[in-house]
């Protein structure tokens, strides 16, 4: 791979492009845009989940309320306990039944109170989420446009750099250029680095046999980080 000079020239210009990409990526406009975009991607599901929770709680509350009223009604039927006993009823059985109903009634009262509180909490969370969604929709639209403006403000620079890269890339064998660009897409930079003693920039040592291949401007791909290694 005797294309070291061309690769280093290409990488030098590519570094200018990368700097612009980093500056654009670090812009406040992009951060706000990405924040809103990520929120909007899950907002619908979250709203639906909260809405379903509120509906389920309401159904449970209605069922408990109905049962509560039924037990109250049953207890009311024991108002004529004296007559029931005079008719031959077992007073111990009646007292036990009434006590069981009263205990259940007390427990249900606590459950209903808690459910009412849960419903109110779920309702408030839904309203808060809906309000936040509306705000994020506005932010998404606003910062999407602002982010486009930031990118457009650097478009001329990017176009000029890409033209230089295209001219330099024409001097590099296509298969090598593709490998370089693939590494660049994988966020590897710098792609072409000098051997540091006996080590790659990633810390992996280079066997003597491989070091021998670096003489005369040769380039070897690191088996660990996949960068192109050369020797000064």
Return d(Cα 81, Cα 96) in angstroms, integer: 13
Residue 36 has what pLDDT?
94
Return d(Cα 80, Cα 74) in angstroms, integer: 12
Residue 98 has what pLDDT?
66
Q: DSSP of 2-41, one letter per residue? A: --HHHHHHHHHHHHHHHHHHHHHHTSHHHHHHHHHHHHHH
pLDDT digits 0-9 by tens, 86-141: 555 555 665 677 677 777 777 877 888 888 888 888 888 888 888 999 999 999 99
Residue 90 has what pLDDT?
54
Of 6, 18, 13, 11, give the one whose Cα is nearest residue 170. Answer: 6
CATH number attached to the domain at 4-189: 1.10.287.1490
More confident residue, 126 or 155: 155
**Residue ranges covered by each domain of the chain:** 4-189
Average pLDDT over residues 18-43: 94
- Sign for the pseudo-dihedral over CA of 31, 36, 38, 39: positive
């Amino acid at each position: 791979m005797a294309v070291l000079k061309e690769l280093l020239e290409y990488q030098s210009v590519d570094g200018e492009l990368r700097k612009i990409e980093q500056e654009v990526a670090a812009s406040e406009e992009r951060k706000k845009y990405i924040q809103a975009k990520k929120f909007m991607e899950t907002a619908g599901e979250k709203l639906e989940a909260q809405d379903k929770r509120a509906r389920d709680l309401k159904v449970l509350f209605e069922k408990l309320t109905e049962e509560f009223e039924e037990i109250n009604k049953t207890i009311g039927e024991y108002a004529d306990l004296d007559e029931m006993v005079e008719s031959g009823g077992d007073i111990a059985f009646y007292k036990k039944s009434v006590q069981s109903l009263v205990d259940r009634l007390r427990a249900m009262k606590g459950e209903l109170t808690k459910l009412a509180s849960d419903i109110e909490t779920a309702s408030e969370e839904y309203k808060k989420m809906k309000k936040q969604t509306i705000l994020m929709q506005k932010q998404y639209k606003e910062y999407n446009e602002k982010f486009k403006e930031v990118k457009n403000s650097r478009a001329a620079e990017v176009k000029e750099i890409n033209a230089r890269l295209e001219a330099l890339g024409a001097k590099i064998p296509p298969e090598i250029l593709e490998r370089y660009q693939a590494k660049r897409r994988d966020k590897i930079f710098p792609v072409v680095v000098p051997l540091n003693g006996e080590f790659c920039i990633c810390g992996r040592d280079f066997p003597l046999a491989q070091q021998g291949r670096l003489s005369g401007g040769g380039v070897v791909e690191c088996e660990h980080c996949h960068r192109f290694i050369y020797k000064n």
